[in-house]
Structure 1
């Protein structure tokens, strides 16, 4: 914007100065030529009394003295054809002046000034002088340079003033842009100081109001999610009591572990809803450990439903830029989709491997596959909430990766969860 304003001011200044200085330059040249012509004419007219009354010898002496003082060639044509002074041809202007008419004629070499002198008994004499072109333009080049320097100076002053004004306009706009980017990066306490023109002040006030409103709505939403999550603790407590009262110790341990996992998920949801995640120490976890634990949990259900589970985990730890609870929720969502959308007895495979700067979790099954809009939040053709894949997608994006859906080699679905790898 500053550049455009500077170009606009420069263009307007150049146009105005051209319209003003071009006629002024022509006027300077005309005035210089007229001044030289008037001076030469005055010098020639000073000879008229002598030419009209004196003898030729006196006239010759006076003409030579005047030519030496003025620097102009002066010639006197007497009526009898005698030529005194600087040699010169009898030009048409001289012939016209011999009839009694004084005039000035322009030529290639300068201006020819002829003056008719009457009063001599033998007729009309003519005084002729020539103003060279160099004297007609004397001082014009220097005046033009001064005018050009003045024009450049005025343009530079205009550009400086325009840049100063542009800064006062651009600075508030840049501040609005910075605050907008900070709000987009979840810095909801960012505010802009109103400055600049009244319109920009109004925009700044509207942006501050919008930021405050977003902060209020987000706070209310977090409180509602936290309250809703807190309400789940009562049925969880009842479910824990029921699990502990089971007669079969293995069933009791399994149910208690499931309740513990659900309670941890609820606690994490409450913590995430009430407090912002710290950006100074990014969360990380061992993807191999989390995936192995969740697959072991789902293996019990897979055995009951007659599903064959193939697990291929990397032998070494694979740290990723994601909290353990969010990665566990993503793995649970992907494995839960396998159980929810494929018939009993459908085998599935879980693989975890390291790639270039990423850790790739692959969940593949031989079921009916996924619909085209499976990644759309809330979309489901099987009566579920349609949020499972969206949970996995957000977990992948938060770590710097992405979620990919592909068709399996033997039909079915093949889901790739690409997670950003953490520095060891």
Structure 2
């Protein structure tokens, strides 16, 4: 933008200078030509009384003296054909002046001035002189150089002014861009200093207002999540007590495990909301989890429901430990989301396989079922054809991205969905 403004001002200045300096340069040349012509005409007009009344000798001496003083050739053509002074041939202009008409004519080497002298007893005499081209253009080149230098100075001055003006516009825009990037990087305390034209100051004020509003909304979100946590503590405690009172130890353990998973999910939600509201003091990417332990635990939990619905579960775990760069509760939530989709979107009795393998860039958790495949509604966040929230795959995707990995969705050649959660090692952004 700064360069474009400078080019615009320079182009405008150049057009203005061309519009003024070119006519001025032509005027300078015209004035120089007229000045040389008038000076030469005035010199030869002084010969008119002498040519009209004096004898030949006097005329010759006067002409030679004028030619020596002016540096221009001067000729006098008498009616009897005598030529005094510079011996020049009779030109068309001399012939015309002999009829009583004075005039000025252009020559290849300059300008010809002829003056008719009437009153001589023997006829009309003619005084002729030639103004050389050097006299006609004397001082024109220097004047043009002065005008060109003046134009160059004006262009440089306009360029300096344009650059200064562009700085006053570009600096606030650059600062606004920097502040917007800082806000995008979760530095919500960043503020723009209103500067520049009124429009840019208004944009800076609007950006600051937006940042302040985002802080308020995030603070309200954190408070609402904290309030939700407080509201859920009592039901969770009641569920835990109910689980402990179950007569069957296996059922009690299973329900208690579900309550623990729910409590971890709530705690993770609170922690995540607080981290988004307030920038963390430590690097959140430093959290780690053992993928082998988490995947094995979650598959064991879902195996009970799989048995109740007639599903065959195949578990293929690589030898652990397999550390990944994602907190344990987030990894557990991601695995639960993938397994929950199997139960939600496949008919009862559909078998599925969970495989945990090592990779060069970390580990891969693959869930392969023999169902109808992934519904199109699950591809988009917040959309589902099964009556759910549609956020299951998004939870898994965010967990993968937090560790530097990704979530791959596909289909088996024989049918069924293949979902692969690729997780990066600890310390990878």
TM-score by length of 1: 0.91
In the alignment, does 2:340 pair up with 1:329?
Answer: no
Partner residue in 1 for 2:312: 308
Match of 2:302 among 288, 298, 301: 298
Equivalent residue number for residue 345 of structure 1: 349
Structure 2 CA distance for partners of 1:89 and 1:386, relative to 1, 3 Å: same
Moved over 6 A (4+): none
**Paired position in structure 1 for 2:162:** 162
In structure 2, the partner of 1:140 is: 140
The change in CA–CA distance for 1:375 and 1:76 in structure 2 (over 3 A counts) is: same
CA distance in 2, matches of 1:184, 1:41: 83
Q: How far off its partner does 1:358 sit? A: 5.6
Q: 1:32 to 1:344 in 2, by over 3 A?
A: same
Return the match for 1:285 from 285, 288, 291: 288
Q: Could you say what secondary structure the match of 1:350 adopts?
A: strand
1:319 CA drift (Å): 4.3
Shift of 1:81: 0.8
Instruction: Give the drift of 1:128.
Output: 0.6
Q: Calculate the TM-score normalised by the size of structure 2.
A: 0.90
CA distance in 1, matches of 2:403, 2:274: 21
1:422 Cα shift? 4.2
State whether residues 98 and 126 of structure 2, in contact with CA within 8 Å, keep that contact through their aligned partners in structure 1. yes
For 1:227 and 1:269, how far apart are their aligned partners in 2? 12
Give the equivalent residue in structure 2 for 1:56. 56
CA–CA distance in structure 2, aligned partners of residues 176 and 212 of structure 1: 15
SS at match of 2:377: coil
Where structure 2 has 5 or more consecutive residues not aligned to the other structure, the ranges are none
Q: By how many angstroms is 1:406 displaced?
A: 1.7
2:415 aligned partner: 411
Q: Which residue of 1 aligns with 2:33?
A: 33
Structure 1 144/334 Cα, relative in aligned 2: closer, same or farther at 3 Å?
same
Question: In the TM superposition, what is the alpha-carbon distance from 1:143 to its structure 2 partner?
Answer: 1.4
- Quote the offset at 1:356 in angstroms: 5.9
- Where does structure 1 lack aligned partners over 5 or more consecutive residues? none
For residues 126 and 320 of structure 1, the distance between their equivalents in structure 2, rounded to whole angstroms, comes to: 114
Partner Cα distance (1:52, 1:356) in 2: 117
Cα deviation for residue 193 of structure 1 reads: 1.7
User: Matches of 2:66 and 2:424 in 1, distance apart?
Assistant: 101
Alpha-carbon contact 2:377-2:390 (below 8 Å) kept: no
Distance 1:37 1:389, change over 3 A: same
How has the CA–CA distance of structure 1 residues 125 and 314 changed in structure 2, closer, same or farther, with 3 Å as cutoff?
Answer: farther
Q: CA deviation at 1:25?
A: 0.6
Q: Deviations over 1:279-325 (max 9, x none)?
A: 75132424344323322333344345443333334446554443222
Q: Could you say if the C-alpha distance between residues 77 and 145 of structure 1 is closer, same or farther in structure 2, counting changes exceeding 3 Å?
A: same
The whole-number CA distance in structure 2 between the counterparts of 1:50 and 1:260 is 133
The structure-2 alpha-carbon separation of the partners of 1:315 and 1:194, relative to structure 1 and needing over 3 Å to count, comes to same
Q: Does 1:371 align with 2:375?
A: yes
Report the number of matched residues: 424
